[in-house]
Structure formats: structure tokens, C-alpha cells
Structure 1
């Protein structure tokens, strides 16, 4: 059916979908494994634990320093806020004692 005449307007008509005008594939080998012989979760738990550990360890230097810096900054800010709102802090910074 396919492999038709050259059409100057649309090119070469190769046939309808599923019936293209090309030669059938030859010498293609396919292999399959029976579903009851497959082990889709073979080693899944082991790999999940150790892969998670490996990925977490590799990301530690990207995650921990910003959290430590943020914790130190928040700790300093809270201490400074408590000092500035205390009697001694108001007197030291020149504010009125009310």
C-alpha cells in the first residue's frame, strides 16, 4: 500500500498510520523475563537506607552551616532585644526610663 508516488506538493505518501510503506524490520531480537521470576523490590530496603544516608551526608555541608548561622543570629538578636528592653539597656542607650 505505501511507498507511493512522489507528490511535488506534499512529498512522498508513505501510507496510513500503522501501514507505512517501509520494509518490515528484520532480525530484531526481543527478550523477556517471566513476571513470576522478576524481583522488582530486590534490595529496595537496603538501598533506600544506604542511599538516603549517602545523599544526606553529601548535602550536610550545604545545609548545616546556614542553619548554624541562622541560629547564632537569632540567639544574638533575642539577647540584644532583651537587653535593650531592660532597665540597664534603656539607660545605656540613652532612652527614657518609662
Structure 2
């Protein structure tokens, strides 16, 4: 049970309790790190922004454009109708006098 000597079955040293491992340095363990000032936090941000914006626009355009077109058409009709009703021919057509 985690003895202090060589393992009789495999012939390797397990180490004492709380100190498991072998007496030789471990091999084959590689660690990589990158300094904070070498990282590129905005790498690809412009490219992603352009294509992400296009994707989002393409998926939302049919929800946004038709109401704006309808509102513009209604407003344009209302402005033209108001200008007509406040003109001399419009007042005569409605039967009101100046």
C-alpha cells in the first residue's frame, strides 16, 4: 500500500505517502507559455467584425426593411395629402372656404 521501497511487482519506486513519484526527473513533459506582452488580443478582430456584421445584417434585413419601407410610404402619403389639403385646390375640393 504505497510502500517506501521498490514495488515488488513492477520494480519501480512509488515514493512515500504524499511524495509519490520516482527519484529521477520526469521526462517527456513539455510546458509552453506566452508572455502577456507578446499576445495579440485583437488578432483577427477587423476581419471577424466585417464578416460577422455582414452575416448579422443578412439575417435581419427582412425583419427591419419592410416596416421602414411601409412607414416611409405612409409618411410620404401623409405629407403629400397635408400639402394638398392646405393648398387652394385642396381647400376648394373639400368645400372649405379661405
Provide the TM-score with structure 1 as the length reference: 0.59
Name the structure 2 match of 1:55: 56
Q: Give the superposed CA RMSD.
A: 1.9
Distance 1:81 1:47 in 2: 48
Relative to 1, partners in 2 of residues 1:41 and 1:48: Cα closer, same or farther, differing over 3 Å?
A: same
Deviation digits for residues 51-88 of structure 1 (CA, Å, limit 9, x no counterpart): 01111111111111111111101110011011111111
The structure where strand makes up a greater share of residues is: 1
Aligned residues: 67
By relative contact order (CA 8 Å, sep 6+), the higher-ranking structure is 1
Q: Distance in 2 between matches of 1:93 and 1:32?
A: 85
Identify the residue that residue 89 of structure 1 maps to in structure 2. 90
Q: Displacement, 1:36?
A: 5.0
**Aligned mates of 1:84, 1:54 — CA distance in 2:** 45
Secondary structure at the aligned position of 2:96 is classed as: coil
Cα-to-partner distance string for 1:18-63 (whole Å, 9 max, x where unaligned): xxxxxxxxxxxxx874235543222111101110111111111111
In structure 1, distance between residues paired with 2:53 and 2:47: 10
Asked which structure has the greater CA Rg, the reply is: 2
